[in-house]
Amino acid sequence: MSVKRTTIVLFDVDGTLLSCGGAGRAAMRSAANALLGREDVFDFRFDGLTDYVIARRALVAAGREPSPAALDALIDRYLESLDPALERAPAFRVLPGVTSLLDALQGRGALVGLGTGNVERGARAKLARAGLAERFAFGGFGCDHEERAKLLEAGARRGRALAAGGACQVVVVGDTPHDVTAARAIGARVVAVATGRHDESALEGAAPDAVLSNLEHTRALDAILAA
Ligand SMILES: [Mg+2]
């Protein structure tokens, strides 16, 4: 007799479910401007980094001590700026295939959550703008831990709690090699999708279980649910 396992899916947000059209970066710049008096502290790409890693790098670039209080203040200011930045981001979009894939996963009984470097309030603001606010009952977030593997662990733990003790497999879906490495660190399967800045060959280099050009791909559901 085969034992039915529940699949816990942890979706990354930026570059995987949606593209913010620069709103996240604009909000970080606005926060740095307000608190550090300058916004030239982000000479790096944000993709795959957690919010607290981004804030830490900004503080160090500005010659400030990245104390917990300074980090929290920068993140709080970022969150204040995020809603208006999201509202005025004309290039904001939900990525191809996302809505129907979420429908299909729910139809197959998967537990669909988040595994994102965004702090929860930021993730929820972006998902609300995308019309996906109600889709994710749980997750691991950038406010759980600065390290991506640790926040995925938190998301997987919350998913397992919902599965009420049954057998589970955890699958991470993300758009960067950071998502792949962190998924491996917690022993999860991982599907990489080339809708962020990394193309398929760059993602192949991180050796995920599958690489998809986008989530509209006919293989997306099978790749995620593969035992
Ligand atoms: Mg991403």
Collapsing DSSP to helix, strand or coil, 143 comes out as: coil
Residue type for position 211: V
Question: So what's the pLDDT on residue 165?
Answer: 75
Question: So what's the pLDDT on residue 108?
Answer: 94
User: What is the Å distance from ligand 1's center to 4 Cα?
Assistant: 30
Residue-wise pLDDT for 10-35, tens only, equals 999 999 999 999 999 999 999 999 99
List the one residue out of 23, 22, 27, 50 whose CA is nearest residue 140. Answer: 50
Contact 19, 95 (CB under 8 A): yes
User: What is the Å distance from ligand 1's center to 7 Cα?
Assistant: 21
Question: So what's the pLDDT on residue 164?
Answer: 81
CA 42 from centroid of its chain's CA atoms: 19
- The answer on pLDDT for 145 being more than 70 is yes
The mean pLDDT value for 78-82 works out to 98
User: What is the Å distance from ligand 1's center to 16 Cα?
Assistant: 6
User: What is the Å distance from ligand 1's center to 113 Cα?
Assistant: 15
The mean pLDDT value for 201-225 works out to 95
6-20+92-225 in CATH: which number?
Answer: 3.40.50.1000
pTM of the model: 0.95
Q: Mean pLDDT in the chain?
A: 95
> Contacts by 33-39 with C-beta closer than 8 Å and gap 24+?
34/77, 34/81, 35/73, 35/74, 35/77, 36/62, 36/64, 36/74, 38/62
The mean pLDDT value for 180-194 works out to 97
Q: Give the whole-angstrom CA distance, residue 100 versus residue 151.
A: 26
Question: So what's the pLDDT on residue 2?
Answer: 54
Question: So what's the pLDDT on residue 48?
Answer: 85
Question: So what's the pLDDT on residue 227?
Answer: 66
List all residues 6 or more positions away from 32 whose beta carbon is below 8 Å from its beta carbon. Answer: 38, 39, 41, 42, 58, 62, 74
The position carrying tokens 């917690």 is: 186
User: What is the Å distance from ligand 1's center to 117 Cα?
Assistant: 8
The mean pLDDT value for 37-50 works out to 92
The position carrying tokens 């999708």 is: 193
User: What is the Å distance from ligand 1's center to 3 Cα?
Assistant: 33
User: What is the Å distance from ligand 1's center to 203 Cα?
Assistant: 12
Residue-wise pLDDT for 109-125, tens only, equals 999 999 999 999 999 99
User: What is the Å distance from ligand 1's center to 196 Cα?
Assistant: 7
Question: So what's the pLDDT on residue 61?
Answer: 95
Share of the chain above pLDDT 70, in %: 98
User: What is the Å distance from ligand 1's center to 198 Cα?
Assistant: 10
- The answer on pLDDT for 93 being more than 90 is yes
Share of the chain above pLDDT 90, in %: 93
Map out the domains of the chain as residue ranges: 6-20+92-225, 23-87
Q: Give the whole-angstrom CA distance, residue 57 versus residue 55.
A: 5
Question: So what's the pLDDT on residue 3?
Answer: 62
Question: So what's the pLDDT on residue 166?
Answer: 83
Collapsing DSSP to helix, strand or coil, 127 comes out as: helix
